[in-house]
Amino acid sequence: MSFELSKKILPVKGIRLGTAASGERYENRDDLLVVEVSEGASSAAVFTRNVFCAAPVIIARRHMETMAPRYLIVNAGNANAGTGIAGEKDCRKICDYLAKEVGWPVEAILPFSTGVIGQLIDTDRIGGAINDCLSALSENNWAAAGRAIMTTDTCLKARSATIEVNGALATVTGIAKGSGMIKPDMATMLAFVATDAAVSPEMVQLICEEAANVSFNRITVDGDTSTNDAFVLMATGARQNKNILKDGDEFRKLAATICMVCTELAKDIVRDGEGATKFVTITVYGEAEEERSRVAYAVAESPLVKTALFASDANWGRILAAVGRSIDRTTRLEDIDINVSGVPLVKNGQPVLSKSSDAIDQLFAQSEIEFSIHLDDGASSTSVWTCDYSYEYIRINAEYRT
């Protein structure tokens, strides 16, 4: 299997993007994105499982059940969440604005929003900027699109890869936004990924779900699941390769490439976690998948673990405590091993006494840290990516609405 992660953000044939400044919340920056998807493209999406999901999630789900999307519209700064029936009406109004301009049914429009929860959106401002987005449509606007959807993000999150599919060189490019309120399911973010390979709608749905599960559903910054999460995967077929209709070698190659792009985007979100100074990989080994996942998230979301990481304090007892409150009752302390970046901290439930404690302190001080936790002799593993808690995280969220 040969695919390559590109150092450049590559255009995807059949996808055009345009951005503009609506002024709905931010000044002197683009905050509105329109994505044009070529006719005949296959698309799939997964959304937040938060029961109180935002108006754009409700409308996007309905529209996807009706017809294949031709346009996506995304605004940053106002989540249009917690806004009730009025929020849904406003969301439909924004879709109507775009539908009239492009001459497609309103059901061909998928809306997305990110930002402050509980505030009604200024539909006139959004509507007034749509033509500017359409005028700016270009295959080469992925970077501008990624910046337009940022809120508390501090950097662009965009990734590209190429792979040969049925004799044609296909491109996969994606953008994502997310920095705080990050927790599966979804992973509290927006992500839009596209390929110019030809893939049936059924196969795109399978890839979309698989990619979400191995990437965006494996990250956590603060344990808060958003109201607005969405991940959309689009396959335009513009490369005119033989259409992928079933699982097989070509499907697996393309799926692996898309999963890789999504995983890199997910890791970028964690690295840009609000106020984050450390990128942390937590891998749990054991026989039971549910237990592995439960333990991994207990450690990743422990405020005590996260603050110790920020302080570069090798207080591994906090990790052991998080494991202990999340494992099955039948798991014995004697079976537990904990390592940091390959160095043993706990072996068979006992602390590893070593004169290299300074070396362990230095490992906790690194910007990227890996913890491996063994629950039993099982070789299967589950990995979760997270970050530390810093003073900056508190400041950002204390001042978010101002």
Beta bridge partners of 32: 20, 75
In sequence order, the β-bridge partners of residue 225 are none
Among left, alpha and beta (phi > 0; psi -120 to 50; other), residue 377 is alpha
Given a contact cutoff of 8 angstroms between Cβ atoms, the answer to whether 141 and 17 are in contact is: yes
38/112 Cα distance (integer angstroms)? 19
pLDDT of residue 229: 84
The confidence score (pLDDT) of residue 187 equals 41
Q: What is the distance between the alpha carbons of residues 371 and 290, in angstroms, rounded to a whole number?
A: 19
Structural contact between residues 90 and 83, judged by C-beta atoms closer than 8 angstroms: yes
Phi, psi values for residue 292, rounded to 5°: -55, -50
Q: Is 263:384 a contact under the CB 8 Å cutoff? A: no
**Residues in CB range of 314: below 8 A, 6 or more apart:** 308, 340, 345, 357, 360, 361, 363, 364
First to last CA, the chain: 49
Of the residues 123, 173, 188, 386, which is catalytic? 188
Which pLDDT belongs to residue 3?
59
Per-residue pLDDT of the chain (402 residues; tens, 9 = 90+): 455 677 799 999 999 999 999 999 898 899 999 999 999 999 999 998 778 889 999 999 999 999 999 999 999 999 999 999 999 999 999 999 999 999 999 999 999 999 888 999 999 999 999 999 999 999 999 999 999 999 888 899 999 999 998 888 999 999 999 865 545 554 447 999 999 999 999 999 999 999 999 999 888 876 556 677 899 999 999 987 788 999 999 999 999 999 999 999 999 998 887 778 899 999 999 988 899 999 999 999 899 998 989 989 888 889 999 998 898 877 888 889 999 998 899 999 888 866 556 778 888 899 999 999 999 888 899 999 998 888 877 787 677 565
Query: Can you name the CATH fold of 3-271?
Result: L-amino peptidase D-ALA esterase/amidase (3.60.70)
Q: In this structure, which amino acid lies at residue 359?
A: A
> At residue 54, what is the residue type?
A
3-271 and 279-398: same fold? no
CB 188 within 8 A of CB 182: yes
Are the C-beta atoms of 267 and 356 separated by less than 8 Å? no
In terms of residues, how long is the chain? 402
Is 114 labeled as catalytic in the residue annotation?
A: no
Half-sphere exposure of 177 (CA within 13 A, CB side): 28
How far apart, in whole angstroms, are the C-alpha atoms of residue 301 and residue 388?
A: 9
Alpha helical stretches, state H, 78-190: 84-102, 123-135, 142-148
Q: Per 3-state DSSP, what percentage of the chain is helix, strand, and coil (rounded to 5)?
A: 35, 25, 40
Domain boundaries, the chain: 3-271, 279-398
**What is the rounded distance in angstroms from the CA atom of residue 361 to the CA atom of residue 364?**
5
CA distance 64 to 331: 45
Beta bridge partners of 15: 37
Query: What's the pTM?
Result: 0.89
Q: With contact defined as beta carbons under 8 Å apart, do 241 and 199 qualify?
A: no
Among residues 268, 273, 256, 207, the alpha carbon closest in space to that of 235 is found at 207
Select 279-398's CATH number: 3.40.50.1110, 3.40.50.2300, 3.10.20.340, 3.30.9.90.
3.10.20.340
- How far apart CA 356 and CA 402 sit, in angstroms, is 47
